[in-house]
Structure 1
Amino acid sequence: MKLLRPGKNISASVENITPFGLWLYVKEKEYFLGYKEYPFFRDQTLHSIQNVQLLYDYHLYWPELDVDLEIDNLENPEKYPLQYNSASELKGKSSRRAVARR
């Protein structure tokens, strides 16, 4: 088992929440998660967004939101082309198609 040096910060924390997204501090790096790319954080409670856990030194988990992200997703988004689509977004797209077919 690999031991960490005492005093090393291995936690994750939400440093700031803005109208455009949130700033996350993980392993001595800061990341911006915009609501456009990460819409599941929009309109959530402050507590549920701030309740983030760093698991296995690379996995971020928000238990109240059931959101999982790996740090590599934040550092290299081009490697992960799949985008999140909520059920309401999918429903809206199908209804637009139905209207267009009439």
Structure 2
Amino acid sequence: MSLSALGSNTSDVEVTNISAHGVWLLAHDREWIMSYSDFPWFKEQPVRAILNVEEVAPGHFHWPDLDVDLTEEIIEHPERYPNVAGNT
């Protein structure tokens, strides 16, 4: 009997932590914290919805259950996008 090798991880993005302060996102060996003050759409959402993230294009992340789209640029510099990251 032979065992086949486990497949490689096909997801390049994952939520690694959800806390009272925000959501941690890991992609391509980089990790960001998205605080609820800058990214209010994640606050008080079901864990299932927050964990369901996909990278639809390089550096472009989508949460289909929340209808949220963010880029690395927005995550790294939310202060540059006050009309996006500041609205609830």
Q: TM-score range by the shorter chain?
A: 0.7 to 0.9
Within-5 A mapping of 1:17-56: 17-56=18-57
Residue pair 1:22, 1:33 contacting (<8 A) in 2 also:
yes
Cα distance per residue 1:48-79 (max 9 Å; x no partner)? 00000011111100000000001111223343
Q: Which has the higher strand share?
A: 2
Describe the shift of the 1:16–1:67 C-alpha distance in structure 2 as closer, same or farther (beyond 3 A). Answer: same
Residue pair 1:9, 1:27 contacting (<8 A) in 2 also:
no
Residue pair 1:10, 1:27 contacting (<8 A) in 2 also:
no
What is the one-letter code of the residue matched to 2:43? R
Give the structure, 1 or 2, with the largest relative contact order (CA under 8 Å, sep 6 or more): 2
**Structure number, greater radius of gyration:** 1
The alignment yields a C-alpha RMSD, in angstroms, of 2.0
Distance 1:41 1:22 in 2: 8
Which ranges in structure 2 are unaligned for 5 or more consecutive residues?
1-7
Distance 2:9 2:29 in 1: 10
What is the one-letter code of the residue matched to 1:41? F
TM-score (norm 2): 0.79
Distance 1:77 1:85 in 2: 12
Count of matched residue positions in the alignment of Structure 1 and Structure 2? 80
Q: Which has the higher helix share?
A: 1
Residue pair 1:48, 1:62 contacting (<8 A) in 2 also:
yes
Describe the shift of the 1:8–1:46 C-alpha distance in structure 2 as closer, same or farther (beyond 3 A). Answer: closer
Residue pair 2:38, 2:78 contacting (<8 A) in 1 also:
no
Q: Which residue of 1 aligns with 2:12?
A: 11
Which ranges in structure 1 are unaligned for 5 or more consecutive residues?
1-6, 87-102
TM-score (norm 1): 0.69
